[in-house]
Structure 1
């Protein structure tokens, strides 16, 4: 990114933070190749290179170069164990800037917050100051990424989960600009529903941190199934992409076109955890890794990779032609 474009992004973020949250902030990121879009998805990674985070980053760099990716998506839990303490927290460089060093990864990163991020200073992680430290970094609570071929709707899922609001006093969650919970969620769902209805992109993907369907440690998130899932189904969302469970998985819905994809293998993994649920499990890997996406107006190709960059599973979806 050039200095002028970095400054423009910083000014844009400053505007977004000062504007009303009545509508979701929107970014535009057209594909380098106008007919196709390529990206990587990784989650639950921020451990200063430990638990194979550095090895995952190396593999991402190689695959990113092969695909000539347009950008990277982070599905949250960006900094363990307790988010950032402030904009001067060295964990930002030690877990992000100094780890994802490959040339192919020097592109924009679009990130959501996870529950571990909420245990720290959330406003620091959202601050435009971090983009002055590393111009790749964009993290908001909820926003839209317009990539022409696809619209990505990033959703702040942590406030949905009731147990976080009832944690003991010794476990802090930063609810500034979120409380009261019910009002925040109601406004977010209304804005998301309106944005999904307005979208004319061939593909509609929703990105959140928490699992909606999962066979791993955390399992299903009941609050998302009750409050978020009906809006996704009503608006024909193609994929729900998440982290939270430290694994890779694909679950297909039995009652709609919606596919659930988990990419939460950016560092520490949970070996041997498996609990079945009501939808159809297509793929499960209880180790570290990440995911790639290659999109055209008619096809979506997803691949899951292990820590060495070896392909574990491939998913291909088709779409009737639509003008966009």
Structure 2
């Protein structure tokens, strides 16, 4: 009887301790869940599988490319593999491994995010060959890999290129920008790169919005090489009343060139890309503008590229009511005139305007030749009204409005072939809205503008 009672007591105690252990396990799991994944969509939750894969320029586009991606913190060591693509899967036998740089990132620095830490991984592929189609993948080097993804390196000489340009995506990005980037991809699937002219999202540090931006573009971000431009909505205080700062995700998620001569606050927001005799200069129109004026002149003065393109978020010639970027017209435009910049790509004003500034003769009269084409555009759903009267005032700066639009989501495809740059603006449904061609004499630098 004592033996039976002892056995029974042991069983009861085991059951009690088992239930307590299960309850404690459940409690711990619930605790982790509430401080990490609760309220997140499945596509926001990091795992061992790579997500948010994006290509950027870092170094010579003919021989290098950067890739950045995200995982959970269990992936402490990551790898990218690359090989020249072939018609079958045997290219994997010749793939090379590149060890990633891994950075821990705390989403919880911004209280509206989940209290969650992730790892960002980055690799700069170097030693590539010009004009080759490469296949790459990223992962933990073991079981958790992305798919193989293609990109083509630039040619080492001047050759035709095509690229895409977006104004602000900013609001309701997953709902309303997805169709725009996907329509752009249908229009120009082989684009060499894509310019995102600032305000990629609305609230700088809010990770759900970055998750939407990545989901909207999907594999396109990992196949097109991005040139991201920082906008005013990429700046926000971490706490209410605190000084605005660059989105905490910006530097971890984009591997961009660092201009060491500039203030560290401008690093990875001001940089230059030279792609097949086309120089693209990216400026940060939010702060430290005087320092960038010096940088801009240096990049234009020491440039023998056949085409010069400048992009920044704020519009040099603002088409929307109440907007004014006087500093750019006073300090940057004279440099754009002096060094014969071909194209300026802006966002910020949530409307559409394409205009140009003609060159002036020695007696300061308007000539038949072109100086610079200026474009302001919007790709997202947030729309403002045009201010025609304000646009007329820019005549004092030599600006002439050629085409405008409002209440329309746009994307632009720009082709450069020989002595011609062809600019086309498309609506969100893929219809051509505006077209202009710049024809350039490379010996004299003289340009003419032809419209539609």
Superposition TM-score, scaled by structure 2 size: 0.54
CA offset at residue 254 of structure 1? 4.0
Range that drifts further, 30-39 or 4-13:
4-13
Q: Tell me the equivalent position of 1:92.
A: 210
Q: Tell me the equivalent position of 1:145.
A: 273
Q: Tell me the equivalent position of 2:377.
A: 263
What is the CA deviation profile of residues 21-54 of structure 1, one whole-angstrom value per residue up to 9, with x for unaligned ones?
xxxxxxxx72599621111000210324367322
- In structure 1, list runs of 5 or more residues that go unmatched: 14-28, 133-138, 160-183
Q: Higher strand share goes to which structure?
A: 2
> 2 CA distance for matches of 1:309 and 1:102?
20
CA offset at residue 233 of structure 1? 1.4
CA RMSD of aligned residues (A): 3.0
Distance 1:312 1:108, change over 3 A: same
> 1 CA distance for matches of 2:297 and 2:176?
38
Bigger relative contact order, structure 1 or 2 (CA pairs below 8 A, ≥6 apart): 1
> 1 CA distance for matches of 2:405 and 2:201?
23
Q: Tell me the equivalent position of 2:421.
A: 300
> 1 CA distance for matches of 2:193 and 2:271?
16
Distance 1:33 1:192, change over 3 A: closer
> 2 CA distance for matches of 1:10 and 1:102?
17
1:152-301 correspondence to structure 2 within 5 Å = 152-159=280-287, 184-255=288-359, 257-271=371-385, 273-275=387-389, 276-277=391-392, 278=395, 279-286=399-406, 287-301=408-422
> 2 CA distance for matches of 1:310 and 1:33?
33
> 2 CA distance for matches of 1:54 and 1:221?
30
> 2 CA distance for matches of 1:205 and 1:273?
26
> 1 CA distance for matches of 2:222 and 2:427?
18
- In structure 2, list runs of 5 or more residues that go unmatched: 1-54, 56-66, 68-79, 83-97, 102-120, 126-152, 238-244, 256-266, 361-370, 444-452
User: SS of the counterpart of 2:289?
Assistant: helix
CA radius of gyration, larger in: 2
Q: Aligned residues, how many?
A: 270
CA offset at residue 221 of structure 1? 1.3
User: SS of the counterpart of 2:122?
Assistant: helix
> 1 CA distance for matches of 2:291 and 2:416?
31
What is the CA deviation profile of residues 52-90 of structure 1, one whole-angstrom value per residue up to 9, with x for unaligned ones?
32221231121122xx2111101001110x2124xxx23
Matched, 1:41 2:189: no
> 1 CA distance for matches of 2:342 and 2:220?
31
User: SS of the counterpart of 2:295?
Assistant: helix
Distance 1:272 1:198, change over 3 A: closer
Distance 1:4 1:201, change over 3 A: farther
Distance 1:34 1:259, change over 3 A: closer
Cα contact 2:205–2:247 (8 A) shared by 1: no
Cα contact 1:149–1:296 (8 A) shared by 2: no
> 2 CA distance for matches of 1:266 and 1:123?
19
